[in-house]
């Protein structure tokens, strides 16, 4: 097995995390705290870039497997997982799996909100 792909993913992940922090912080500092424009912008940009990389890498075969791993899994995986969630949901829709796409989209949103709320409740209880 070729383990070099792990290095590409790790490097991309480090750069993606830094990119997310820098971009979202810059946008947040310019727009304020009423709406999370920094996170919103990162998510939308990540979705666009993952769509681009997905087609160039899997359909057009312009990108090598290591480049795809660096960009899609590493860089964008750390930049935003929202892009992966969006691509997976879109692929379910394209495959005619509308119910699964709906379950993924709304289940992730609703259950994710509940999980965050439960985490905050647990933290409050543990810190008493």
Let me know whether 54 and 75 are in one domain: yes
User: What b/e sequence results for 14-28 when a residue is b if at least 16 CB atoms lie within 10 Å of its CB, and e otherwise?
Assistant: ebbeebbeebbeebb
Let me know whether 113 and 89 are in one domain: no
**Structural domain span for residue 66:** 4-96
Number of domains in the chain: 2
Let me know whether 29 and 87 are in one domain: yes
Residue 61 CB: number of other CB atoms within 10 A? 9
DSSP 119: H
**What is the per-residue pLDDT for 57?**
87
- pLDDT digits 0-9 by tens, 61-109: 899 989 999 999 999 999 998 988 999 999 999 999 999 999 999 999 9
Let me know whether 106 and 52 are in one domain: no
Looking at every residue in the chain, the average pLDDT score rounds to: 92
Let me know whether 89 and 107 are in one domain: no
Give the torsion sign (CA, 70, 72, 81, 42): positive
pLDDT at 36 over 90: no
Let me know whether 20 and 49 are in one domain: yes
Let me know whether 74 and 115 are in one domain: no
Let me know how long the chain is. 128
User: Which stretches within the chain are classed as H helix?
Assistant: 4-31, 37-54, 65-68, 76-79, 82-94, 98-126
């Amino acid at each position: 097995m070729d383990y070099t792909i792990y290095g590409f993913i790790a490097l991309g992940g480090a750069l993606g995390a830094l990119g997310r922090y820098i971009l979202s912080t810059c946008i947040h500092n310019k727009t304020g705290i009423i709406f999370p424009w920094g996170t919103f912008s990162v998510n939308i940009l990540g979705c666009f870039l993952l769509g681009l990389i997905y087609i160039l890498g899997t359909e057009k075969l312009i990108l090598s497997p290591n480049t795809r791993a660096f960009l899609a899994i590493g860089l964008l995986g750390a930049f935003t997982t929202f892009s992966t969630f969006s691509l997976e949901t879109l692929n379910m829709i394209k495959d005619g799996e509308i119910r699964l796409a709906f379950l993924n989209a709304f289940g992730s949103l609703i259950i994710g909100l509940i999980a965050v709320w439960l985490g905050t409740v647990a933290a409050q209880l543990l810190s008493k």
